[in-house]
Structure 1
Amino acid sequence: MAHVKVKIYTTPTCPWCRRAKEYFKQLGIPFTEVDVSRDRKGAEEMIRKSGQMGVPVIEIGNQIIVGFDKARIDRILGIS
Protein backbone atom coordinates (compact mmCIF):
# COMPACT_ATOMS: atom_id res chain seq x y z
CA MET A 1 0.00 0.00 0.00
CA ALA A 2 1.47 3.34 -1.06
CA HIS A 3 1.86 6.09 1.50
CA VAL A 4 -1.42 7.99 1.51
CA LYS A 5 -2.38 11.13 3.41
CA VAL A 6 -5.36 10.64 5.72
CA LYS A 7 -7.26 13.36 7.55
CA ILE A 8 -10.24 12.67 9.84
CA TYR A 9 -12.60 15.49 10.79
CA THR A 10 -14.10 14.68 14.20
CA THR A 11 -15.78 15.88 17.37
CA PRO A 12 -15.00 14.52 20.86
CA THR A 13 -18.53 13.12 21.37
CA CYS A 14 -18.82 11.25 18.05
CA PRO A 15 -18.73 7.43 18.47
CA TRP A 16 -18.26 6.84 14.70
CA CYS A 17 -15.26 9.18 14.79
CA ARG A 18 -13.69 7.01 17.51
CA ARG A 19 -14.34 3.88 15.43
CA ALA A 20 -12.77 5.47 12.36
CA LYS A 21 -9.65 6.50 14.30
CA GLU A 22 -9.35 3.04 15.86
CA TYR A 23 -9.66 1.42 12.44
CA PHE A 24 -6.81 3.48 10.97
CA LYS A 25 -4.71 2.72 14.08
CA GLN A 26 -5.38 -1.03 13.61
CA LEU A 27 -4.27 -0.73 9.98
CA GLY A 28 -1.13 1.12 11.08
CA ILE A 29 -2.00 4.10 8.87
CA PRO A 30 -1.11 7.49 10.36
CA PHE A 31 -3.74 10.22 10.15
CA THR A 32 -4.25 13.84 11.05
CA GLU A 33 -7.24 14.55 13.28
CA VAL A 34 -9.14 17.83 13.01
CA ASP A 35 -11.54 18.49 15.92
CA VAL A 36 -14.14 20.64 14.19
CA SER A 37 -15.75 21.57 17.52
CA ARG A 38 -12.58 23.53 18.41
CA ASP A 39 -11.10 24.36 15.00
CA ARG A 40 -13.31 26.80 13.08
CA LYS A 41 -11.02 26.85 10.03
CA GLY A 42 -10.98 23.06 10.06
CA ALA A 43 -14.79 22.99 10.22
CA GLU A 44 -15.03 25.39 7.26
CA GLU A 45 -12.54 23.24 5.31
CA MET A 46 -14.59 20.10 6.07
CA ILE A 47 -17.84 21.74 4.93
CA ARG A 48 -16.17 23.02 1.74
CA LYS A 49 -14.79 19.55 0.91
CA SER A 50 -17.78 17.42 1.95
CA GLY A 51 -20.72 19.78 1.45
CA GLN A 52 -22.12 18.99 4.89
CA MET A 53 -21.55 19.39 8.64
CA GLY A 54 -21.80 15.82 9.98
CA VAL A 55 -18.78 13.90 11.27
CA PRO A 56 -16.75 11.89 10.71
CA VAL A 57 -15.53 13.09 7.34
CA ILE A 58 -12.51 11.12 6.21
CA GLU A 59 -10.16 12.42 3.54
CA ILE A 60 -7.90 9.81 1.94
CA GLY A 61 -5.70 11.44 -0.67
CA ASN A 62 -8.22 13.38 -2.76
CA GLN A 63 -11.19 11.14 -1.85
CA ILE A 64 -13.82 12.32 0.64
CA ILE A 65 -15.87 9.83 2.66
CA VAL A 66 -18.79 11.05 4.76
CA GLY A 67 -19.30 8.76 7.75
CA PHE A 68 -17.37 5.64 8.74
CA ASP A 69 -17.82 3.64 5.52
CA LYS A 70 -15.39 0.78 6.15
CA ALA A 71 -16.02 -0.88 2.78
CA ARG A 72 -15.27 2.35 0.91
CA ILE A 73 -12.17 3.01 3.05
CA ASP A 74 -10.90 -0.50 2.26
CA ARG A 75 -11.60 -0.02 -1.45
CA ILE A 76 -9.71 3.31 -1.58
CA LEU A 77 -6.78 1.82 0.36
CA GLY A 78 -6.74 -1.30 -1.83
CA ILE A 79 -7.56 -3.64 1.07
CA SER A 80 -9.67 -6.69 0.23
Structure 2
Amino acid sequence: MAVSIYTTPSCSFCVKAKQWMRENRITFKEHDVSRDQRKADEMVRKSGQMGVPVLDVHGKVIVGFDRDKIERALKR
Protein backbone atom coordinates (compact mmCIF):
# COMPACT_ATOMS: atom_id res chain seq x y z
CA MET A 1 0.00 0.00 0.00
CA ALA A 2 1.55 3.25 -1.11
CA VAL A 3 -0.68 5.61 0.89
CA SER A 4 -1.55 5.40 4.58
CA ILE A 5 -3.70 7.91 6.42
CA TYR A 6 -3.82 8.22 10.20
CA THR A 7 -7.21 9.50 11.34
CA THR A 8 -9.75 9.87 14.11
CA PRO A 9 -13.53 9.68 13.68
CA SER A 10 -14.08 13.27 14.85
CA CYS A 11 -11.58 14.86 12.44
CA SER A 12 -13.31 16.81 9.67
CA PHE A 13 -10.09 17.20 7.66
CA CYS A 14 -9.62 13.42 7.82
CA VAL A 15 -13.06 12.97 6.28
CA LYS A 16 -12.25 15.51 3.56
CA ALA A 17 -8.90 13.88 2.81
CA LYS A 18 -10.44 10.42 2.49
CA GLN A 19 -13.27 11.75 0.31
CA TRP A 20 -10.81 13.55 -1.96
CA MET A 21 -8.66 10.43 -2.31
CA ARG A 22 -11.71 8.29 -3.15
CA GLU A 23 -12.86 10.84 -5.74
CA ASN A 24 -9.39 10.76 -7.30
CA ARG A 25 -9.19 6.96 -7.16
CA ILE A 26 -6.23 6.95 -4.82
CA THR A 27 -6.03 3.67 -2.91
CA PHE A 28 -5.22 4.14 0.76
CA LYS A 29 -5.08 2.28 4.05
CA GLU A 30 -6.75 4.04 6.98
CA HIS A 31 -5.49 3.78 10.56
CA ASP A 32 -7.84 5.04 13.27
CA VAL A 33 -5.38 6.20 15.92
CA SER A 34 -8.17 6.66 18.48
CA ARG A 35 -8.62 2.89 18.52
CA ASP A 36 -5.10 1.63 17.79
CA GLN A 37 -2.39 2.83 20.16
CA ARG A 38 0.32 1.06 18.16
CA LYS A 39 -0.65 3.04 15.05
CA ALA A 40 -0.91 6.24 17.12
CA ASP A 41 2.66 5.70 18.31
CA GLU A 42 3.76 4.95 14.75
CA MET A 43 2.14 8.18 13.53
CA VAL A 44 3.93 10.26 16.17
CA ARG A 45 7.27 8.57 15.35
CA LYS A 46 6.84 9.32 11.65
CA SER A 47 5.51 12.87 11.92
CA GLY A 48 6.49 14.20 15.31
CA GLN A 49 2.85 15.32 15.57
CA MET A 50 -0.17 14.27 17.60
CA GLY A 51 -2.69 15.94 15.26
CA VAL A 52 -4.47 14.25 12.40
CA PRO A 53 -4.67 13.66 9.54
CA VAL A 54 -1.17 12.45 8.88
CA LEU A 55 -0.53 10.87 5.50
CA ASP A 56 2.37 8.66 4.47
CA VAL A 57 2.62 8.79 0.68
CA HIS A 58 5.39 6.59 -0.68
CA GLY A 59 7.40 7.31 2.49
CA LYS A 60 6.80 11.08 2.40
CA VAL A 61 5.00 12.20 5.56
CA ILE A 62 2.40 14.95 5.14
CA VAL A 63 0.77 16.53 8.18
CA GLY A 64 -2.71 17.86 7.46
CA PHE A 65 -4.80 17.70 4.31
CA ASP A 66 -2.60 19.44 1.75
CA ARG A 67 -3.72 18.44 -1.76
CA ASP A 68 -0.67 19.95 -3.48
CA LYS A 69 1.78 18.07 -1.27
CA ILE A 70 -0.18 14.83 -1.68
CA GLU A 71 -0.24 15.18 -5.48
CA ARG A 72 3.49 15.93 -5.60
CA ALA A 73 4.27 12.92 -3.40
CA LEU A 74 2.11 10.64 -5.58
CA LYS A 75 4.07 11.64 -8.70
CA ARG A 76 7.34 10.24 -7.32
TM-score (norm 1): 0.89
**1:58 counterpart = 2:58:** no
Asked whether the 8 Å contact 2:58–2:73 carries over to 1, the reply is no
Whole-Å separation in 2 of the counterparts to 1:30 and 1:77: 11
Whole-Å separation in 1 of the counterparts to 2:46 and 2:74: 19
Residue 4 of structure 2 aligns to a residue in which SS?
strand
Name 1:33's counterpart in structure 2.
30
Aligned residue pairs: how many? 75
Name 1:68's counterpart in structure 2.
65
Identity percentage of aligned residues: 52
After the TM superposition, which segments of 4 or more aligned residues of structure 1 sit over 3 Å from their partners?
none
CA RMSD of aligned residues (A): 1.0
Name 2:41's counterpart in structure 1.
44
Q: Which structure has the larger Rg?
A: 1
Unaligned runs of 5+ in 1: none
TM-score (norm 2): 0.94
**1:12 counterpart = 2:9:** yes
